Structure 1
Amino acid sequence: MVATVTDIHEAHAELERLHTLFRQQKQAFRKDPMPSAERRIEQLDQLRMALLKHQDNLAEAVNADFSCRSRDETKVAEILTTIESIKYAKARIRNWMKPEKRHVGMLHAPSSNQLIYQPLGVIGIMVPWNYPIQLALIPLMTALAAGNRAMIKMSEFTPKINVALKAMLAEVFDETQVALIEGEVEVSSAFSEQAWDHLIFTGSTAVGKIVMAAAAKNLTPVTLELGGKSPTIIAPDMNMQDAVERIAFGKSLNAGQTCIAPDYILLPEGKQQEFIDTYQAKFAQMYPSVRDNDDYTAIVNERQHERLQAWVKDAEEKGARITVVNPKNETFSDTRKMPLHIVENGTDNMKVLQEELFGPILPIVTYKSLDEAIDYINDRDRPLALYLFSYDQTIQEKILSHTHAGGVSINDTLMHIAQDDMPFGGVGPSGMGHYHGKEGFIALSKAKAVHKKGKYNSGKFIYPPYGTAIQKMIYKIFVR
Structure 2
Amino acid sequence: MYVPKALLEPFLEALRATYSELNPSVAGNPDVVAVVNQRHLDRVEGYVLDAQARGARVECLPEPLAPNAEDRRRPLRVVVDPAPDSVIMREEIFGPAMVVLTYEHLDQVIDDINGRPRPLALYYFGKDPEQQRYVLERTVSGGVTVNDVMMHAAMHDAPFGGVGASGMGHYHGREGFLEFSHMRTVYKAAAHDPRREWGLLPPYGEHFLPAMQAMVTAD
**2:8 alignment counterpart:** 272
Deviations 1:224-253 (A, max 9, x none): xxxxxxxxxxxxxxxxxxxxxxxxxxxxxx
**2:167 alignment counterpart:** 431
Q: What secondary structure does 2:182 align onto?
A: strand
Deviation at 1:415, TM superposition (A): 1.0
**Gap runs ≥5 in structure 1:** 1-264
Deviation at 1:462, TM superposition (A): 8.6
Do the aligned residues in 2 keep the contact of 1:291 with 1:332 (CA within 8 Å)?
no
Q: What secondary structure does 1:380 align onto?
A: coil
- Structure with more helix by fraction: 1
**2:155 alignment counterpart:** 419
Do the aligned residues in 1 keep the contact of 2:23 with 2:62 (CA within 8 Å)?
no
Distance 1:330 1:346 in 2: 21
Do the aligned residues in 1 keep the contact of 2:65 with 2:74 (CA within 8 Å)?
no
Do the aligned residues in 1 keep the contact of 2:160 with 2:170 (CA within 8 Å)?
yes
Moved over 6 A (4+): 450-455
Deviation at 1:333, TM superposition (A): 2.7
Deviation at 1:421, TM superposition (A): 1.2
1:465–1:453 CA distance, 2 compared to 1 (3 A): closer
Distance 2:59 2:181 in 1: 49
Deviation at 1:326, TM superposition (A): 2.0
Distance 2:188 2:132 in 1: 47
CA RMSD of aligned residues (A): 2.6
Distance 2:152 2:119 in 1: 14
Bigger relative contact order, structure 1 or 2, given CA contacts below 8 A and separation 6+?
Answer: 1
Do the aligned residues in 1 keep the contact of 2:124 with 2:145 (CA within 8 Å)?
yes
Q: What secondary structure does 2:183 align onto?
A: strand
Relative to the length of structure 1, the TM-score reads 0.39
Which amino acid is 1:340 matched to?
Answer: L
Deviation at 1:454, TM superposition (A): 9.9
Answering whether residue 198 of structure 2 is matched by residue 464 of structure 1, we say: yes
**Gap runs ≥5 in structure 2:** 201-205
**2:36 alignment counterpart:** 300
Name the count of aligned residue pairs. Answer: 204
**1:248 alignment counterpart:** none
Answering whether residue 108 of structure 2 is matched by residue 377 of structure 1, we say: no
Q: State the identity as a percent.
A: 38
**2:68 alignment counterpart:** 333
Distance 1:438 1:384 in 2: 20
Which has the larger Rg? 2
Q: What secondary structure does 1:404 align onto?
A: coil
Answering whether residue 43 of structure 2 is matched by residue 282 of structure 1, we say: no
1:461–1:279 CA distance, 2 compared to 1 (3 A): same
**1:344 alignment counterpart:** 80
Written as runs of structure 1 = structure 2, the 5 A alignment for 1:166-245 is: none
Distance 1:345 1:400 in 2: 23
Relative to the length of structure 2, the TM-score reads 0.83
Q: What secondary structure does 1:398 align onto?
A: helix
Distance 1:463 1:422 in 2: 50
Deviation at 1:452, TM superposition (A): 8.8
Q: 1:447 aligns with which of 167, 174, 183?
A: 183
Deviation at 1:448, TM superposition (A): 3.4
Deviation at 1:297, TM superposition (A): 0.3
Which amino acid is 2:50 matched to?
Answer: D
